[in-house]
Amino acid sequence: MPSLNANGIRIAFDTAGDPKSVPLLLISGLGLQLTAWPDEFVEGLVELGFYVIRFDNRDSGLSTKFEHAGTPSLTLAWLKSLLRLPLKPPYRLEDMADDAIGVLSALGVARAHVVGMSMGGMVGQLMAAKYPSRVLSLTSIMSSSGRRGLPGPTPEARRALLRRPRGPGDIDGAIDYNVALLQAVGSPAYPTPEKHLRRRVARALRRNCCPGGVVRQMLAVTACGDRTPQLQTIVAPTLVIHGAADPLVPLACGVDTAHAIPGARLEVIEGMGHDLPSQLLERLLALIDAHAHGKMAPDSTPRLFVKQ
């Protein structure tokens, strides 16, 4: 796996397609590696004429880890957040946005379409706000504005998140935990067979496992807080895609994001949860293609796509 230096750290990345094609940067979510973007999704983007760039966020995959910072207490961070006390994370989402810009610069890419999922959507939002000349368009998938008062995970999703593997060396337990989590937050109308989830999780764990990095990324999200002021400055054409059945980042979060970004279009997919099910990849590719090529009129009216 190739890597590059960006923003003072080492970042693992890969590319697909013709470097002379229009660049499109994919940003993964919390604790996810670049491999979380399905290969068939990447191949579909290449077929649509994009030069696709994926990378491991800091503290995940094969990129630089911040183990020297220790593993923060999320309970303490949550209490401080409730009391509106300042948080001091090892790094911030803004640093991760700088990382992404550094990846583009290291690859000689001046401007790119940016597609981020979940936490990656938040990083993409900050990229578009801070570096408007570098972002051709923004697609924010199953993400949020971070505004106070928005609903949080369902009780079932929260329990799945708080559950933990039996021990640090228990690979089978780690696989069971991650599969259960993916099932808890996945798309109810488009379920992924358990054997496919187990294969995907095992492959990810073999590539890298950094539980402390997940906690540090989570603290960066918590410390970022309300991004509404930054969202209101975004000038890049923006598409917000959200599942109507998302149990982890409820639909209201996507609606609020679209309302905060001037001219953003909101696309609500019925039956979609907090994942990228294979049954919806063709639909997602069509939306991103139309958006990147300016075939969508700016509109905040949800479009519902019902399972056929």
Q: Is 234:129 a contact under the CB 8 Å cutoff? A: yes
User: pTM for the whole thing?
Assistant: 0.93
Q: Is 249:224 a contact under the CB 8 Å cutoff? A: no
Residue 285: the pLDDT is 98
Closest by Cα among 167, 197, 171 to 184? 197
Q: How many domains does one find in the chain?
A: 1
Let me know the angle formed at the C-alpha of 86 by 82 and 91, rounded to the nearest 5 degrees. Answer: 115
What kind and span of H or E run contains 136? strand 135-141
Residue 284: the pLDDT is 98
Distance CA 54, CA 218 (A): 21
Question: pLDDT, tens digit, for every residue of 70-116?
Answer: 887 777 766 766 667 777 889 999 999 999 999 999 999 999 999 99
Domain region containing 44:
3-305
Residue 18: give its domain's CATH number.
3.40.50.1820
Q: Find the DSSP H helices in 56-193.
A: 74-82, 93-106, 119-130, 155-162, 171-185
Q: Is 29:36 a contact under the CB 8 Å cutoff? A: yes
Q: What is the pLDDT along the chain (308 residues), one digit of tens a residue?
A: 899 999 999 999 999 999 999 999 999 999 999 999 999 999 999 999 999 999 999 999 999 999 998 887 777 766 766 667 777 889 999 999 999 999 999 999 999 999 999 999 999 999 999 999 999 999 999 999 999 999 999 999 988 887 776 656 678 888 999 999 999 999 999 999 999 999 999 999 999 989 899 999 999 998 998 999 999 999 999 999 999 999 999 999 999 999 999 999 999 999 999 999 999 999 999 999 999 998 875 554 444 444 33
Residue 304: the pLDDT is 47
Residue found under tokens 């905060």: 260
Pairing between strand 22-27 and 50-55? parallel
Neighbour order of strands in the sheet with 3-6: 3-6, 9-16, 50-55, 22-27, 112-117, 135-141, 238-243, 265-269, 304-305
